[in-house]
Structure 1
Amino acid sequence: MARTVRAPCPAPSVLAACLLSIGVADGATATSAQQRSEGSARSPQLDITKTVNPNPMTVGAEAEYVITVTNSGDTDAADVVVTDQLDSAVQPGDLPADCSADGRTVTCGGEGTTVPAGESVRFTVPVTTSSDLADGTNIANSATVDSSTPGASGDSTRLVSQARTLTNVAITKDGPATVSPDGTITYTLTTTNQGPSDAVDVTLQDATNGQLTTIESASSVCDSGGLTVTCPLGTPEPGQSEVVTITLRVNPDVPVGTVIPNCAEMYTGTRRTTTEDDRSCVETNVTPTDPTDPPTDPTEPTDHPEKPKPPKPDPGDLPTAPEPTSNDGHLPVTG
């Protein structure tokens, strides 16, 4: 008869080997333990992982979460359901057919979704981040997976990603091609935040040449002191535009033929996708005033019809002088 030794044994997965090593006499007991160990392994084991693209995420832009569920057990998992809890900084986008949203809670799979043993399924959750997030904001996302199969073990995961701001501020400038000496030039400047993020602390600057022009006026948002017009425009949202006007007067001693260049630039505290659109320039030529142009009365229309001139007479219709008469001495001579 074998000697029975009482000793602690490890988990059921190695219980049978443990009982045999300490000399269990009843072989049926060891066999039963081994059967229980094998039976406990025959169940679905679900694992869940998550990634996001792009990473880091872009403030105000779209991103995509990819959730992968793997069944590492040895039986199929039925009615697999994934619950994805989105961060308050994102909104769900157009979800695929196997997912639905209730607020910021996204549910994928469910009844009829089976994950065979040793295989995986993927769910895609598109989102859009808020455009007013600060650069470096952390965005957390939690997801769980469960199955209706008895004995199936679920799983959960949590992903924290950073979001960075990114934008493109653009400016266009319009002005006249020509100006007369001592005339005025009015520039119209249109600024636009092309997104996707809010553009922080946007400032427009227009540097003038004091030897050629004098600043006469600018939009109320601008400071026109000195030679540079500075216009703080705040934090425009994606798609928001602002229009600014600046009027300069040409100095009276500027000679005809002078070209007056003028450039405006945009600045922002937000990271930019490009700097190619944040500068715009206009050139205006100083041309002479035509001295032959008569002054016009602004109260009268300028398109007066010409008065009709009388037609020239036909030479055949003009009266002819009488033929001279010869004097043979019989006629008196007059005057």
Structure 2
Amino acid sequence: MVTYRYLGNSGFKVSEITYGNWITHASQVENDAAVATVHKALDLGITTFDTADVYANTAAEVVLAQALKGQRREGLEIFTKVYFPIGPKGPNDTGLSRKHIFDGIHGSLKRLDVDYVDLYQAHRYDYETPLEETMQAFADIVRQGKALYIGVSEWTAEQLRAGHALATELGFQLISNQPQYSALWRVIEGAVVPTSAELGISQIVWSPMAQGVLSGKYLPGQPAPAGSRATDEKAGAFFIQRFMNDDVLAAVQQLKPIAAEAGLTMPQLAIAWVLQNPNVAAALVGASRPEQLEDSVKASGVVLDADVMTAIDAALGPVAETDPAKTEESSPRARVTG
């Protein structure tokens, strides 16, 4: 069963394996399979679910609501996000303006069929909206009981510090950041993690398996398996391309004996690795089939000894991305409109 961790400097606990439905629900898998996978997550002790209004252009929130129907609301932790455009991409249909944030929360609550979300997240940083406007809107949403806590995604250390200061001034908690993080993508370690630890902000990390590359199924010098994420544009093929070179794939193959010696599968090793970071509260995992979750949750509670961590660093260190500037590249400098 999955263990729990506190999210940021709060009394709020989340399952350290959190179910995310970014590229699965209403996109990669049929609704019946999505519902079955969510039910399997619940059976395995996962009670924390992460989505966003932009996933499948709002449809992912609807599918998640269907899958959670009839569950005790108080026993669930439901996260969603706002920033990216949905619908016609009008001038106010994106970003973190007060208007878009309030339109976003009202739409998400309706689609998720809940009165509140546990965590409402700024999906990116908005360079076109004053940060004071954004944080005031979040403060009002918290006071109105539409969200209990506020988080962000892919913010830099400086943006986190400024946002945290405003949240404190406005009387609410900024408790989380949701960045990409894996043994191959370590860009948050230099600045984001130490700043977050200082401020009482946790990481909810996405792609702990580097889009599946750390599963070891992609082999150097060989084409990607048919039906895999690397061959499926709907399944995030764009995001995996940065890892699809022979140097990276050869380095990943060195992890196989390390995982075997630790008594873990390759996916379990990858998820357990991110959970060794004390600033990480949860690893986001998705699944297109229920049995995939059965493997993933076995990473919960695993403690990797120092020799294993050293061996992983030796294998992947030469090919891992560590440049902190990569975080800043995640947020568009201008809004995407129609």
- TM tier, smaller: under 0.3
Greater strand share, structure number: 1
TM-score (norm 2): 0.18
Question: Greater Rg, structure 1 or structure 2?
Answer: 1
Structure with bigger RCO (C-alpha 8 Å, 6+ apart): 2
